[in-house]
Amino acid sequence: MSLPALYYLVLLALSALASAAIAAFCWTRRSSLGTKPFIVLMVAVSFWSFCDLMRLLSSDYSTMVFWDKMSYLGIVLVGPSWLAFCLQYTKRDGQLNRRNLALLSIVPLVTLVLVFFNEQFGLIWTDLTVVDLGQFRDLAHGHGPWFWVNVAYSYLLILTGTILLFQYALRSSSLYRNQAKVLALGAAIPLISNALYVAGVSPFYPLDMTTLAFSLTGLVAAWGMFHFKLLDIVPVAYDSVVSSMADGVVITDAKNRVADINPAALKMSGLPSQEIIGRPADLLPMFKSDLLQRSSSAIESESELEYPGPNGQRFYDLRISVLYDPQGDLLGRLWVFRDITDRRRAQDELFRAHQELERRVAERTSQLAEANLSLKEQMAELKQSKKEREKLIAELEIKNSEMERFTYTVSHDLRSPLITIKGFLGFLRQDLAKGSNLRTEADMKRIEEAVDRMDLLLRDTLALSRIGRVVDPPQYVNFGEIVKEALDQVSLQIRSSKVRIIQAESYPVVFVDRLRLAEALANLIENSIKYMGHQASPEIEIGWRKLADGTAFFVRDNGMGLDPSQHQKVFELFYKVDKKSEGTGAGLAIVKRIVEVHGGRIWIESEAGKGCSVCFTLPRSDLSAPKSA
């Protein structure tokens, strides 16, 4: 049962050093939640071990008692610091408020007071005696009542913490379960060891192995924590990330290792759960791209990800939350992959439907625009045709009133010889009754002349009515040829009246009813001869000049001229300036009609005694001519 004293001393020294080392190591990672109470625990264990070592190395009683008392500075801290560690680790650190800390401190403080004033109260130790253990000496303790209070209190705290760890391990995901189990098992070691020592049944009795056991716990806990690489990753908000979530959740640490992954994300990756935890995140297929690099600087981000998973191409809405500890140091990232494939497809479908709709709207719009255009054209045509119709109606009205005037004129002029005939027939009857042969002869002559005149009137009326009704096809002809034909027709009158004919050097080509125009021209020449008066050197000029609306031709004479009051009247049917002149007075009416049928107009330029010009236009042949002609 005796242990080589040196071994024990070395173990104590190692325990002190190991605990201090763990504390120091944890100090470098103090940002992780739960690390600080653990550091306190390790420092306490280290100090406890150190005091034990010093006590054993002391030679005199009072020094031994001193170190024995000093060791309580570490002992009283073990229970509370363990509980604090467990509370923080299991995320119950909300309970570590000042009030609770003060309450927790009551027993340790009382214990310390009683330890350092044990000589007065004797509540910790009833007697302290030096026992020789062979190679060294130690103190044997007779325990007072408060000693047990402190033991029970420490046990209570340690047990409570350990139970919390176990509970936490049971309801944690597999990831944290192992770590919690290791921690809980670690906690059991000193409990068992101390229980054996306190009960006096320790195999190493009277040597107290509790400090060694706590060091061992520290080592185990540190191994557990850092082996699983979890002390620097706090499972913040893990409870809220339900493993049954439909969204894929991946937690990576600051070094981009997979700290946790939920079933949905595993399904996405097609890997078994355990393989990937603790390993670099880029082993996951969805991190294969430059996703990690891209999001390394992102603080909080949301983006869309297209990922060819085991179930075909799928779309994800990726939200990255960056996790920090209260000190503001980066802990890791929370990656939430929400499958939006259906939504995306619906969106695509909607987009296509929208495009189709837009296409149809555009198509229909263009159809409507076309229809509108054609409607506008139709309306314009309708307007045009209405305008033309109105013009036609106006023309018809003019023609109608002309026709009416013509009818009255004709009936008036035809009635005239009839009145003569019937009147003189009455006289003839009287003559015959009286037997006046001389008067009979004269009156019969009057009747004959009236009949002849009527015949002429009827002929001219018929001639006029034929113009425009019986049409010879128009042709291209030099106006000079028409002049020649007209002059041939009136050659007899020209010779007898000794009129000098002046012609233009050249004439334009016209597109006309050649015979009719020659007839009209002959009529005008005849008229000029008729109204030449007593001109010593009669002249008739047949010329032309250009006008805006065509070419004006004229027949000019140096005869008696015409008073402007007569300029319109001369074109009326059967109007005669000189009643005694030959003919019916239909000549100019016929000429006017011929010119109008050709689309031209006719007018007189004259003053009494200064000769007369009858002018008429003919449309320009280059405008009316068909291109092929």
User: Which CB, 314 or 530, lies closer to another protein?
Assistant: 530
User: Which CB, 147 or 575, lies closer to another protein?
Assistant: 575
User: Which CB, 453 or 620, lies closer to another protein?
Assistant: 453
Q: How far is the CB of 475 from another protein (least distance, A)?
A: 39
User: Which CB, 197 or 424, lies closer to another protein?
Assistant: 424
141: its two tokens? 């303790």
Q: How far is the CB of 420 from another protein (least distance, A)?
A: 4
Window 429-468: residues binding another protein (CB under 8 A) = 429-430, 446, 449-450
Asked if 415 interacts with another protein (CB under 8 A), we say yes
Q: How far is the CB of 569 from another protein (least distance, A)?
A: 8
Burial class (CB in 10 A: 0-12, 13-18, 19+), 91: middle
- CA-based nearest residue to 338, from 238, 248, 473, 470: 248
Asked if 426 interacts with another protein (CB under 8 A), we say yes
How does DSSP classify residue 282?
G
Asked if 413 interacts with another protein (CB under 8 A), we say yes
Please report, to the nearest 10 degrees, the dihedral formed by the alpha carbons of residues 164, 165, 171, 174 taken in order: 180
Total residues in contact with another protein, by rule CB under 8 A = 29
Using DSSP, state whether 261 is helix, strand or coil. strand
- Do the beta carbons of residue 560 and residue 532 sit within 8 Å? yes
Neighbours of 357 (CB within 10 A): 10
Q: How far is the CB of 421 from another protein (least distance, A)?
A: 9
- CA-based nearest residue to 571, from 543, 541, 595: 595
- CA-based nearest residue to 514, from 600, 594, 588: 594
- CA-based nearest residue to 52, from 38, 69, 27: 69
Q: How far is the CB of 575 from another protein (least distance, A)?
A: 7
- CA-based nearest residue to 188, from 150, 161, 226, 169: 161
User: Which CB, 579 or 627, lies closer to another protein?
Assistant: 579
Asked if 566 interacts with another protein (CB under 8 A), we say yes
Q: How far is the CB of 484 from another protein (least distance, A)?
A: 34
345: its two tokens? 């497809």
Asked if 419 interacts with another protein (CB under 8 A), we say yes
Site map (CB under 8 A) of another protein, residues 576-595, x = contact: xxxx----------------
Three-state secondary structure readout of 15-76: HHHHHHHHHHHHHHCCCCCCHHHHHHHHHHHHHHHHHHHHHHHCCCHHHHHHHHHHHHHHHH
Q: How far is the CB of 584 from another protein (least distance, A)?
A: 13
Among 133, 159, 425, 458, binds another protein (CB under 8 A): 425
Asked if 412 interacts with another protein (CB under 8 A), we say yes
User: Which CB, 380 or 398, lies closer to another protein?
Assistant: 398
Q: How far is the CB of 533 from another protein (least distance, A)?
A: 15
Asked if 575 interacts with another protein (CB under 8 A), we say yes
Q: How far is the CB of 423 from another protein (least distance, A)?
A: 4
Asked if 416 interacts with another protein (CB under 8 A), we say yes
Q: How far is the CB of 456 from another protein (least distance, A)?
A: 15
Describe the chain by its helix, strand, coil percentages, rounded to 5: 60, 15, 25
The upper half-sphere exposure of residue 171, i.e. CA atoms within 13 Å in the direction of its Cβ, equals 10
User: Which CB, 181 or 446, lies closer to another protein?
Assistant: 446
Asked if 422 interacts with another protein (CB under 8 A), we say yes
- CA-based nearest residue to 232, from 23, 21, 28, 18: 28
Q: Is the dihedral of CA 57, 62, 63, 65 positive or negative?
A: positive
Asked if 357 interacts with another protein (CB under 8 A), we say no
Site residues for another protein per CB under 8 A: 405, 408, 412-413, 415-416, 418-420, 422-427, 429-430, 446, 449-450, 563, 565-566, 569, 575-579
